[in-house]
Amino acid sequence: MVFRMSRGGFGRQVFFWGLVMAGFMISGKSYGLGEKTLVLGAGSGWNSVEKRIRVAEIPLIRPNPVLALTPGRLRNEAGAAALPDMIISFDEGRPDLFADHTGNYRVNAAASLRAADRRWAKEGTGAAHFSGEGEPGLTIFPRKPDALLAPGRPVKDFSIEFWLYPFNADHGEQILSWTSVRQAASGASVYQRIEGMFIKNRLHWTFTEFFSNPGDTLHPALSLNSIAPLVPQTWSHHLIRFDSDTGIVEYLVNGKLEGTVYATSTGREGGDVYRPVIGREGQLVLGRHYTGIMDEFRTYSRYIETPSLNRYPREGGRVETRFLDLGERNTDILKVEALGGRFSAAGASGSGGRIYHEYAGTGNFLFSDSSALQLFIRAGNNPYSWTNDESEWFPVTPRGELPETLRGRFIQLAAVFYPSGDGETTPYLDEIRVLYKPNEPPLPPALVSAAARNGAVDLSWRANPDPKVGGYLIYYGNSAGEYFGDDAILGPSPINVGKRTSIRLDGLQNGSLYFFSVAAYNLSEDDLPGPFSREVSARPLRMME
């Protein structure tokens, strides 16, 4: 080990270690001799968490925001054609702020419309509360020419989906109405309408003048409804979809096929397929005569094969922190603790608007409903050599032991979130604590002395009792604080003498004044040596032989 340093270097070294120790005092708490704690989350926040996949910060669960699975379905299908044509999430908190997140439509809210908060939302942080007063709750107009409901837009496949929580499901309540006017091939103006309305506790759908045969001479009226009655004060998912290859129109409730009709010349599979024709002055109205809640209204320019009905994504989510610098090479990672629990914003679905919540503290994050949270950690002195290999990550078990080989200046943490089996509950992370012991350089030896000899100097010192000390380095030179000597037979400064506590340096020039300092180093060969001891000096002379 070679480490040459001048007095100026010594001063900078002391200043450096002072900054490091000050940094530890700011960023971590002390837990025993030399041990420190790094805290993420709780009052420290989650700024160090850089990579977040289907995970977001959720307020109101604990005193500070927690990390949990993102409410709502995350649609990451490839290609622009796979994206929704309209997304109205009702998460804005105020009806006048309700908007289509695709930008394809303009949204106007009636004065009677209310915003339901997180407790009543099926997904996300809010929902729309309709009063049933008869005026349009939400009126939607196309604003871009490529929107599904834009005038003259050629339409092939389409899908409409939303969540519904009716208070009563009374006969005549209107959920959805789309109206437009178009000119048929005959030159006559044709009044178009799509309507979804409760009839005898079933949601009934009608399509009037919406489909047209290839010659635009026939415009059949189609209708279909759910088989089973809808249960009031219960969430249900509704999906209307059209396949232009077969002409089939299907109605699904909670993912189950409830009604089927064909927009074909035969009224069944086969024959000419009738296609949607979009007229001018079209407007879509939600909840004109409806008392209840609606959430996550979406339209698509495609046929939805399988609706996603889970509150939280089935595939779970993952977060990773940035590289966290502990300040010292080969720092020992002693323990990783996580605090958190599980919750479900069950909302109106059977809980009267309450949020279900279970705080587990530092317990095992494997819950009875199969929701789970798994932590991982990796450490090293050079994080830029890390890859995406899962073998680099060590799984953390609550209150479990970490391997002794887990050490380094840098660490990185990851957490994987798994929802419950029914997708209604998410685990959450409230706080992470990493207990570590910095691999601080050893203190210098004490009582260093130097005795002049003929062409030599005898050096001695008191050993450092720290068991991690691997040995000592002797620095020497001809000027105070300038340790660049190269006269000694044992070699140039510094000289590694192992664990010896005294040595004679032969080969020095008689009459020359030499300055000496001793530093200790740890067992690891790649660690920096500790600070210098006090400086001593001696002048070899022949007469003292």
Over residues 353-381, the pLDDT tens digits come to 445 678 887 777 888 888 999 999 999 98
Per CATH, the architecture of 35-70+314-437 is what? Answer: Sandwich (2.60)
d(CA 256, CA 131): 28
Which structure tokens are listed for 374? 């798994």
In tens, the pLDDT along 438-474 reads: 877 788 999 999 999 999 999 999 998 888 888 999 9
Which structure tokens are listed for 492? 């140039």
499: exposed, middle or buried (Cβ count in 10 Å: 0-12, 13-18, 19+): exposed
Per-residue pLDDT in tens (0 to 9) along the chain, 545 residues: 444 444 444 333 433 333 333 333 334 444 455 789 999 998 899 999 999 998 989 887 889 999 999 875 543 333 344 578 999 999 999 999 999 999 999 999 999 999 998 888 888 789 999 988 777 899 999 999 999 999 988 889 999 999 999 999 888 899 999 999 988 877 888 899 999 999 988 999 999 999 998 888 888 899 998 888 999 999 999 999 999 999 999 999 999 999 999 999 999 998 899 999 899 989 999 998 899 999 999 999 999 887 777 778 888 999 999 999 998 888 889 999 899 999 876 544 444 444 567 888 777 788 888 899 999 999 998 888 898 888 889 998 866 678 877 888 899 999 999 999 878 889 999 999 999 988 777 889 999 999 999 999 999 999 988 888 889 999 999 999 899 999 999 999 999 999 999 999 999 999 999 999 999 988 765 667 888 999 999 999 987 44
SS3 content of the chain, % helix, strand, coil (to 5): 10, 45, 50
Distance from CA of residue 293 to its chain's centroid? 29
Looking at residue 32, its pLDDT comes to 52
Q: Taking the CA atoms of the chain, what radius of gyration do you get in angstroms? A: 37
Which structure tokens are listed for 259? 């009604």
CB 193, CB 178: distance < 8 Å:
yes
Q: Where in the chain is the domain with CATH 2.60.40.10?
A: 7-16+441-544
d(CA 453, CA 505): 9
Residue 289 bridge partners (DSSP): 174
| pTM score of the predicted model | 0.56
Distance from CA of residue 117 to its chain's centroid? 23
Looking at residue 61, its pLDDT comes to 83
Residue 506 bridge partners (DSSP): 456
- Three-class secondary structure of residue 509 per DSSP: coil
Query: How far, in Å, are 170, 211, 442, 531 from residue 468 at the CA level?
Result: 79, 83, 8, 15
- β pairing state of 502-506 and 495-496: unpaired
d(CA 417, CA 54): 9
Q: Which CATH number fits domain 80-300: 1.10.10.10, 2.60.120.200, 2.60.40.1170, 2.20.25.650?
A: 2.60.120.200
Q: Where in the chain is the domain with CATH 2.60.120.200?
A: 80-300
The answer to whether domain 7-16+441-544 has CATH 2.60.40.10 is yes
Looking at residue 14, its pLDDT comes to 35
Query: How far, in Å, are 15, 41, 88, 160, 473 from residue 57 at the CA level?
Result: 39, 10, 21, 30, 51
Which structure tokens are listed for 307? 């609706």
d(CA 375, CA 379): 14
Looking at residue 122, its pLDDT comes to 84
Which residue, among 337, 265, 303, 281, has the nearest Cα to 139 in the 3D structure?
Answer: 281
Cβ neighbours of residue 381 closer than 8 Å, sequence gap 6 or more: 329, 330, 408, 409, 410, 526
